[in-house]
């Protein structure tokens, strides 16, 4: 097995030995020794107050991590990304989601084309269409305005749109209903359209390739559903639009390419929510709010591109993630938004982080000799507190947590918001400092339960605090995580922009689909377990048909 040289960088070696010192420290000591720690270990930028004082780090840790960023050439690779170089090495592509949020007056020429002009051409097309749907000017086949918008897509063509719609629901046009269909399980589609009138429903078929089996299966069922109700093929043009890079396949499906919203192969699926894939978002919140969201993305991009590393939010966030993963050995990260509107953020971040950094070979194809992307998971607070937080507080595995919260609620109501936010601060405090046996005894705790009640503490967390959840803030928040993922991937020397790992399962399912038919030949050529499962599935299916 060949090895990779990242782990031989001087800063990596120093961090490895430094981590043994840090592991013998407790956050209680770190705070006791430095009264100003809470003030010093925070960063304020682009509308965020980022508190990382409760991470298990010292000044020396931060110094070494910044050195690691320099030795890993994070700045050089960042600049290469912004310049449109083909940093997606395994697919030989530029990675230019940052171009999706460049202001109109900028230019960025890639392979002879000004991509900013292209981006704004499509944004203008989206805005015209979104306005016509929102105003009721766009009419369905029977002349009625659109009341329902159903986005059909999966993965990067679904998770961003759902997350953004939910996050920005406060800003949405309330007389429009939005549904999101992703799963090839028919239940997803059937339940999404059950109470909708076909002649008031617009389907957005979102698929970069327009070749994804789940999406095309759902799109075909949507067309059949519409035609069963409107009995006229010409209705498709009024009720279907597409978001894709593949005009030929869009036309073959029967969608007028005049109603196709384009994006480009330099936009990765999980980095596409602010491209035309965000058409449902724009219809929901309107072009003005969408533009504000883009400006938030751009502000964070500019910060990432220009701020010195020691005060660079995504650099610091990414470095802390590497520290926790590789040097402290934490294998998962909890993302806990204390805002109900962000309830789909953990699912969105799961794809962004794990599809990007769940890799085990380096740019040049060598197997890594260190850990890469951790598992991300989470739930909105305070719900998680009444469920799995027990393990985070007292379990045998430590879970670094990102808490996300806002100073102002979009729905101020009695004392709700202070109660909500008190929980972020309390949870972070409890995780860091815990409760000792002596403290419990002093409080007069029952001796019999004493050991069970001890909270060791020393469990790291960060708090991302902002004023209010606005479209602009959401853009900045997503860009923060995008660039943090980039920093981590660069340090790990992995291609954060491909996703070959999802291919094998797709190919195998294509082989298996015909084998599941009732009249399929019986000779199966899989392993004995898969053969037995397929045979039993078919037998059970036939049983049902006979009853
Ligand atoms: C994301 C991935 C993946 C992709 C879906 C849908 O980065 O590439 O999640 O978005 O597989 O692909 P299509 O948009 O091509 O249907």
What DSSP letter does each residue of 515-547 carry, written as one string? HTSTTS-S---S-HHHHHHHHHHHHHHHHHHH-
Flag whether pLDDT at 219 surpasses 70.
yes
Confidence of residue 2 (pLDDT cuts 50, 70, 90): very low
pLDDT given at position 547:
47
Is residue 210 within 8 A of residue 242, CB to CB? The reply is yes
Flag whether pLDDT at 460 surpasses 90.
yes
pTM higher than 0.75 for the full model?
yes
Residue 493 has phi, psi (to 5 degrees) of: 60, 35
The predicted model gives 344-358 an average pLDDT of 98
Span from the CA of 157 to the centroid of ligand 1 (angstroms): 6
Q: What do you get for the CA distance between the two ends of the chain, in Å?
A: 56
Which residue's alpha carbon is at the smallest distance from atom 8 of ligand 1?
A: 269
Check the CA dihedral 499-504-505-506 and report its sign. positive
DSSP-assigned letters across all residues of 261-308 = EE--TTS-GGG-TTSGGGHHHHHHHHHHHHHHHHHHHHHHHHHHHHS-
Is the CB of residue 482 below 6 angstroms from any atom belonging to ligand 1? no
Is the CB of residue 161 below 6 angstroms from any atom belonging to ligand 1? no
pLDDT given at position 17:
97
How confident is the model over 142-201, as pLDDT tens digits?
Answer: 999 999 999 999 999 999 999 999 999 999 999 999 999 999 999 999 999 999 999 999
- Helix (H) / strand (E) containing 142: none
DSSP-assigned letters across all residues of 376-394 = EE---TTGGGGTTHHHHHH
Is the CB of residue 154 below 6 angstroms from any atom belonging to ligand 1? yes
- Which is catalytic among the residues 214, 292, 355, 482? 355
Report which DSSP code applies to 208: S
Which residue's alpha carbon is at the smallest distance from atom 10 of ligand 1?
A: 156
pLDDT given at position 6:
80
What is the pairing mode between strands 48-51 and 42-45?
A: antiparallel
Is the CB of residue 155 below 6 angstroms from any atom belonging to ligand 1? yes
Residue 317 has phi, psi (to 5 degrees) of: -60, -45
Is the CB of residue 244 below 6 angstroms from any atom belonging to ligand 1? no
The predicted model gives 278-288 an average pLDDT of 98
Distances (CA, A) of 330 to 61, 130, 460: 16, 44, 10
Flag whether pLDDT at 377 surpasses 60.
yes
- Which is catalytic among the residues 429, 506, 541, 542? 506
CA angle 471–181–289, rounded 5-degree value: 15
Span from the CA of 432 to the centroid of ligand 1 (angstroms): 39
- Residue whose entry in the numeric block shows the structure tokens 């660069």: 490
How confident is the model over 24-35, as pLDDT tens digits?
Answer: 999 999 999 999
pLDDT given at position 518:
84
Distances (CA, A) of 431 to 132, 383, 391: 50, 17, 11
137 classed as catalytic: no
- Which is catalytic among the residues 105, 228, 231, 386? 386
Closest ligand 1 atom to residue 154 Cα is 6
91: cis peptide before it, omega within 30°?
no
Is the CB of residue 355 below 6 angstroms from any atom belonging to ligand 1? yes
The predicted model gives 103-115 an average pLDDT of 94
10-23 and 59-71 helices, crossing angle to 10°: 160
Sheet holding 177-181, edge to edge: 177-181, 148-152, 201-206, 240-244, 260-262
Beta-carbon neighbour count of residue 347 at 10 Å? 17
Is the CB of residue 499 below 6 angstroms from any atom belonging to ligand 1? yes
Q: 376 has which bridge partners?
A: 333
- Percentage of the chain exceeding pLDDT 70: 98
The predicted model gives 82-109 an average pLDDT of 96
Is the CB of residue 212 below 6 angstroms from any atom belonging to ligand 1? yes
Closest ligand 1 atom to residue 215 Cα is 16
Burial class of 449 by CB neighbour count within 10 A (0 to 12, 13 to 18, 19+)? exposed
What's the whole-number average pLDDT of the chain?
96
- Helix (H) / strand (E) containing 89: none
How confident is the model over 468-508, as pLDDT tens digits?
Answer: 999 999 999 999 999 999 999 999 999 999 999 998 998 89
pLDDT given at position 4:
53
Is residue 408 within 8 A of residue 470, CB to CB? The reply is no
- If one residue of 212, 247, 503 were mutated to test the ligand 1 pocket, choosing by the most ligand atoms within 8 A of its CB, it would be 212
Span from the CA of 461 to the centroid of ligand 1 (angstroms): 31
Closest ligand 1 atom to residue 155 Cα is 9
How confident is the model over 191-213, as pLDDT tens digits?
Answer: 999 999 999 999 999 999 999 99
pLDDT given at position 7:
78
How confident is the model over 253-265, as pLDDT tens digits?
Answer: 999 999 999 999 9
Span from the CA of 159 to the centroid of ligand 1 (angstroms): 10
Span from the CA of 514 to the centroid of ligand 1 (angstroms): 24
Confidence of residue 543 (pLDDT cuts 50, 70, 90): confident
Span from the CA of 269 to the centroid of ligand 1 (angstroms): 5
Span from the CA of 268 to the centroid of ligand 1 (angstroms): 8
106 classed as catalytic: no
Span from the CA of 435 to the centroid of ligand 1 (angstroms): 46
291 classed as catalytic: no
Closest ligand 1 atom to residue 209 Cα is 15
- If one residue of 91, 205, 269 were mutated to test the ligand 1 pocket, choosing by the most ligand atoms within 8 A of its CB, it would be 269
279-306 and 74-82 helices, crossing angle to 10°: 140
């Amino acid at each position: 097995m060949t090895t990779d040289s990242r782990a031989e960088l001087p800063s990596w070696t120093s961090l490895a030995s430094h981590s043994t010192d840090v592991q013998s420290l407790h956050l209680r000591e770190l705070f006791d020794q430095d009264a100003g720690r809470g003030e010093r270990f925070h960063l304020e930028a682009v509308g965020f107050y980022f508190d990382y004082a409760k991470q298990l780090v010292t000044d020396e840790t931060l110094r070494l991590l910044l050195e690691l960023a320099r030795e890993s050439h994070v700045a050089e690779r960042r600049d290469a990304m912004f310049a449109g170089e083909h940093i997606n090495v395994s697919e030989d592509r530029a990675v230019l989601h940052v171009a999706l949020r460049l202001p109109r007056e900028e230019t960025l020429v890639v392979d002879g084309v000004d991509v900013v002009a292209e981006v704004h051409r499509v944004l203008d097309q989206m805005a015209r269409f979104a306005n016509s749907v929102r105003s009721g000017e766009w009419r369905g086949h029977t002349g009625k305005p659109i009341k329902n918008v159903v986005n059909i897509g999966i993965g990067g063509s679904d998770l961003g749109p759902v997350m953004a719609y939910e996050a920005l629901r406060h800003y949405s046009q309330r007389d429009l209903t939005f549904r999101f269909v992703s799963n090839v399980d028919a239940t997803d589609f059937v339940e999404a359209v059950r109470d909708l009138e076909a002649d008031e429903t617009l389907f957005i078929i979102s698929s970069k390739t327009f070749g994804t089996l789940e999406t095309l299966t759902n799109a075909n069922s949507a067309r059949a559903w519409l035609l069963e109700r409107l009995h006229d093929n010409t209705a498709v043009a009024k009720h279907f639009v597409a978001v894709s890079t593949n005009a030929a396949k869009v036309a073959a499906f029967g969608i007028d390419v005049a109603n196709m919203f384009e994006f480009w192969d330099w936009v990765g699926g999980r980095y596409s929510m602010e491209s035309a894939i965000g058409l449902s978002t724009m219809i929901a919140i309107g072009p003005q709010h969408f533009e504000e969201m883009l400006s938030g993305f751009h502000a964070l991009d500019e910060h990432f591109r220009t701020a010195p590393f020691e005060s660079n939010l995504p650099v610091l966030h990414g470095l802390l993630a590497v520290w926790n993963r590789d040097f402290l050995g934490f294998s998962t990260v909890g993302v806990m938004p204390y805002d109900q509107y962000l309830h789909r953020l953990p699912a969105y971040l799961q794809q962004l982080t794990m599809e990007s950094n769940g890799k085990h070979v380096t740019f040049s194809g060598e197997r890594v000799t260190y850990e890469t992307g951790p598992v991300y998971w989470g739930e909105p607070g305070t719900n998680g507190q009444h469920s799995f937080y027990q393990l985070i507080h007292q379990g045998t595995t430590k879970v670094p947590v990102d808490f996300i919260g806002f100073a102002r609620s979009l729905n101020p109501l009695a004392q709700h918001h202070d109660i909500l936010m008190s929980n972020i601060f309390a949870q972070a405090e409890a995780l860091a400092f815990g409760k000792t046996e002596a403290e419990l005894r002093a409080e007069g705790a029952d001796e019999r339960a004493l050991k069970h009640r001890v909270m060791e503490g020393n469990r790291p967390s960060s708090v991302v605090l902002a004023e209010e959840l606005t479209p602009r803030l959401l853009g900045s928040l997503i860009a923060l995580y995008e660039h943090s993922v980039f920093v981590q991937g660069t340090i790990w020397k992995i291609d954060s922009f491909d996703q070959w790992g999802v291919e094998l399962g797709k190919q195998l399912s294509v082989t298996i689909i015909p084998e599941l038919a009732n009249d399929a030949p019986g000779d199966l050529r899989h392993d004995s377990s898969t053969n037995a499962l397929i045979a039993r599935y078919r037998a059970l299916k036939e049983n049902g048909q006979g009853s």
